[in-house]
Amino acid sequence: MERPERLERLRHIIRDMGEAAVAYSGGADSTLVLRIARDELGEKAAAIICSTGLMAQREVEEAVAAARGLGAEVRVVEADLLARPDIARNPPDRCYLCKRAIIESIGEAASGMGLRIIADGTHCGDEDGDRPGMRALREHGVRSPLAEAGMDKADVREVSRALGLSTMSRPSSPCLATRIPFGEAITRERLRQVDEAERLLRQLGYGQVRVRHHGPIARVEVEERFLSRALEDREIIISGLRELGFTYVVLDLAGFRSGSMSEPVAGPVARP
């Protein structure tokens, strides 16, 4: 199926839904869903953003601005996931527990807005690899119109470009808890260290970056093409991360890859 056909199928799927509370993050995937939902459903489509405490506040603010830029009604719901001991202790099924709590919060908000159907930005490629949160989506009947239309990440980028969406090349940004090894407690201080460390690296020009928190050790992942440059910048990086409270700074020679914290549990994870 060609991309124009997939886009038409996406429009048809969303149109048939009749209404949609879009679980919105401000990323490329949910932005495309929200844009098409607004096109096809008008005021029967809204964006619901869940502020969890596990993502940078700037990302919440950027998501609100992006959704409003699409002309959508926006609702921000608070779900303090760190207040939940089952999540804060960071078990291997943390992503499932988090996703379930987020969907439940979004569902309550959607119901209050008179919307019965929740749609998210999951696409076909999200079905590969370590995605425990997918189970929570299925359990709560969340619709994933991109996946239903047979669209993958490349489709999302190409269609977003054609529609003039500024998020077409925005890198993925999973919650900060994914930087902490399973079994290590998630604390606000650890999340702050990770957030500020990654902000420093982005300011230095490293786009796709992860700083994995191993107690006193910061394990830095950058794209393979930037490994040599990271070594050249090592003094700046070491100094900046030590100021944040890390004692040791190491560069992961395998480079950036999504889900590397799951490798001890599930084996090496392929790059997206």
For position 58, what pLDDT does the model report?
84
Same domain, 255 and 121: no
| Range of the structural domain that residue 122 is part of | 3-169
**pLDDT at residue 272 in the model:** 36
Half-sphere exposure of 88 (CA within 13 A, CB side): 12
- Domain assignment of residue 30, yes or no: yes
Same domain, 140 and 240: no
What pLDDT is stored for residue 92 in this prediction? 92
Burial of 129 (0-12, 13-18, 19+ CB in 10 A): middle
Q: How far apart are CA 245 and CA 180, in angstroms?
A: 15
pLDDT tens digits, residue range 9-66? 999 999 999 999 999 999 999 999 999 999 999 999 999 999 998 988 888 999 999 9
Same domain, 157 and 189: no
Rounded to two decimals, the pTM is 0.86
Residues 201 and 84 in one domain: no
Give the CATH number of the domain where residue 210 resides: 3.30.70
Do 17 and 147 lie in a common domain?
yes
* Domain containing residue 18: CATH number: 3.40.50.620
Total domains present in the chain: 2
Please check whether residues 135 and 250 belong to one and the same domain.
no
158 plus 196 within the same structural domain: no
Query: 120: which 2 tokens?
Result: 């998210």
Domain boundary residue, one of 169, 187, 210? 169
Mean pLDDT of the chain: 91
Do both 147 and 204 map to the same domain? no
The verdict on residue 271 lying in a domain is no
Asked whether residue 146 falls in the same domain as residue 62, the answer is: yes
- Considering the domain architecture, whether residues 228 and 163 belong to the same structural domain is answered as no
Same domain, 136 and 261: no
Extract the residue ranges of the chain whose pLDDT is less than 50: 266, 268-272
pLDDT at 163: 92
Axis-axis angle for helices 28-41, 153-163 (nearest 10) = 60
